[in-house]
Amino acid sequence: MMPDPIHPPARAKSIARRLIAVLAAAACLAVVPAIAADPGGASLTVTFHGLSSGKGAVMVSLAADPAGFEGKAAPASQARIVVAGDTASATFTGLAPGAYAIRAFHDLVGDGKLKTNPFGIPTEPFAFSNNARGVMGPPSWPQAAFAIKAGANTQSINLD
């Protein structure tokens, strides 16, 4: 007997809609590791673990504010990392120090889109910075936000 995520019924759609809104931006963008705007700024190396299928691509969106994280504004940067093992990483450079958050999904079939089942529940893995997890939807900005300081920074995210 039962779904919020559990009971897929009506709420599943809104859940899926929020997730997709948050994750879709990650799909819009292009290519490989993001590039420098300010060669003197900070850098962030994000590494994704647990990519058991060893294929497809990780679509990453790096946001510098809640609107960018929630898909309501352009993120600070995006990346598509081709997966060739159980980890994948990318380095974003030229970043201004400050608060950022990451949303990502594992594009297993390589079509650039977050796949969902017929009732709107994502069927491809997704994750957020701090390994934050929402309940039947994305985590909030405070849950996923982390500080980027001058120099080199890292984030480790479990994806599958």
Partner 1 sequence: MNRRALLTSFAGVAVAGILTPELAQAVGQWSQAAASGIDWRLAFADLDADVAPAPMRLIAGRPPADLAGSLFRNGPGKFRRAGGSVDHWFDGDGLMRAFRIADGKARLAARFIDTPKRRADQAANAVVTQGFGTADRPGATASSSDDANAANISVMPVGGELWALWEAGSPTAIDPTDLSTKGMRTLRPDLAHMPFLAHPRAEPDGDIWSLGVAGRQAIVWRLGRDGALKSADVIALPRASYVHDFTATPRHLILILQPWIEGPSGDTYADRFSWRPADGTIILVLDKNDLSTRRVFEVPALFAFHYGAAWEEPDGTLRFDACASDNPDFATLGAREVLKGVFTPRASATLRLVSLSPGGAARIEPVGVVAEFPRADSRLAGSPRRYSVHATSDGGTPLFHGLATYDWKGARSDAFDFGPTHLMEEAVFVPRPGGAAELDGWLLAPSVNLTAKATELHVFDARRVAAGPLATWRADVALPVSLHGAFVSA
Give the interface with partner 1 as residue ranges (CB under 8 A): 1-13, 19, 115, 117-119, 121-123, 126, 133-137
Is the dihedral angle over the CA atoms 136, 141, 147, 151 positive or is it negative? positive
Nearer to partner 1, 74 or 121 (CB): 121
Nearer to partner 1, 57 or 136 (CB): 136
CB of 131 to partner 1, least distance (A): 10
* Pairing state between β 42-49 and 152-158: parallel
Nearer to partner 1, 4 or 86 (CB): 4
Kind plus residue range of the DSSP H or E element containing 47: strand 42-49
Nearer to partner 1, 6 or 36 (CB): 6
CB of 78 to partner 1, least distance (A): 22
CB of 18 to partner 1, least distance (A): 11
Of 9, 21, 7, 2, which is closest to residue 137 (Cα–Cα)? 21
Nearer to partner 1, 9 or 98 (CB): 9
CB of 158 to partner 1, least distance (A): 12
Coil, strand or helix: which one is 111? coil
**Lookup result for tokens 């093992």:** 85
Backbone angles phi, psi at 133, to 5 degrees: -130, 130
CB of 142 to partner 1, least distance (A): 13
Contact 61, 78 (CB under 8 A): yes
